[in-house]
Amino acid sequence: MKFSKQVLELDWEAKAASLSDGLKEAVLKKLRKRGLVVAVSGGIDSACVAALAVRALGPDRVFGLLLPERDSSGLSSKLGRELCEKLGIQYTLHDIAPVLEAAGCYSQRDAAVRSVFPEFQPDMKWKIVMHGDRLNTDALNVFYVVVQVDGQEQRFRLTPQAYVQIVAATNFKQRVRKMMEYFHADRLNFAASGTPNRLEYDQGFFVKLGDGSADVKPIASLYKTQTYKLARHLGVIDGILNREPTTDTFSLEQSQEDFYFSVHYSQLDLILWAKNHGITPEEVSPEMGLTPQQIQRVYDDIDQKRRTTAYLHAQPLLLEEVSELKPFKIS
């Protein structure tokens, strides 16, 4: 199979038809629910799922949730509202900051930052990042906190304990959002949607029992660039189509490459496709403008993330078999 930058191109109407038919069957027949709840973040993935759901089920069977918190960009809610209104779906905005405050999300997170930067104050803008150039080094990933002080960004290396405490605390955000989704899903007798694209699903870029939980994940087979193109075909608003992906988790804007992926999604999509189809780094290199060694580093990072995040996909372990439920599945 020959590799090129066109391998991710599809017939978008055919793909829209196929996924919408599959989503309709999944929600109405397999899950036996009346509709679908979608947490609309202002980003491309949830926008694509919402638009696909409207095509599959109609606007009356789709309910949108906007769930900002203290660190969310105001642009996210603005774009989320615009999308819901264009799609003609009912939606509600619920600020989850009070729940997070009560759960200790912000206080535990701030304490971890102060362990490496004692002068940190809650009103300072900040984020966490990995070390810079991962294409040209085999060094282990290490994490830093970047804090904006008097208009200048300062960088402090995180200890392992501080890093895991920040991640554990910020994971509250996705778990509280999913709790709200399931409240509305139960209230309406709707299904709860998941919005990961293929990169996020494959590479474990989600929170277990947070955005990783769902009754149906409509776009988990689509690479990120394919999600953008399908969303455009489905009529998603330009403000979202033209927006770069962001975690929208910290008060300083954080790209997905800052924190997790080794390269920009436009490159990673193609490299992941090549790896999935057995294409060697030497074959990929000329098309991508990267050396075979750089491609191999991305391949290795893909494998490493698959190994370390496999538990996110796993069902709970049972110590003894419950034979009566073993054959159970949704059909």
Residue 123 marked ligand-binding:
no
Residue 290's pLDDT band (cuts 50, 70, 90) = very high
Residue 289 marked ligand-binding:
no
Question: What is the edge-to-edge ordering of all strands in the sheet holding 152-157?
Answer: 126-130, 143-149, 152-157
Domain ranges for the chain: 12-102+165-311, 106-160
Residue 210 marked ligand-binding:
no
Residue 309 marked ligand-binding:
no
Residue 279 marked ligand-binding:
no
pLDDT at res. 132: 66
Q: What is the DSSP string of 11-45?
A: -HHHHHHHHHHHHHIIIIIIS--S-EEEE--SSHH
pLDDT in tens, 221-275: 999 999 999 999 999 999 999 999 988 999 998 888 888 888 999 999 999 999 9
CATH number listed for the domain at residues 12-102+165-311: 3.40.50.620
How distant, in Å, are the alpha carbons of 46, 209, 313 from that of 316?
Answer: 27, 12, 10
pLDDT in tens, 87-129: 999 999 999 999 999 999 999 999 999 999 999 999 999 999 9
Residue 231 marked ligand-binding:
no
Residue 175 marked ligand-binding:
yes
Residue 212 CA to residue 158 CA, distance in Å, equals 26
Burial label, 236 (beta-carbon count in 10 A; 0-12, 13-18, 19+): buried
Contact predicate 65/184, CB 8 Å = yes
pLDDT at res. 327: 61
pLDDT at res. 328: 58
In this prediction the pTM is 0.95
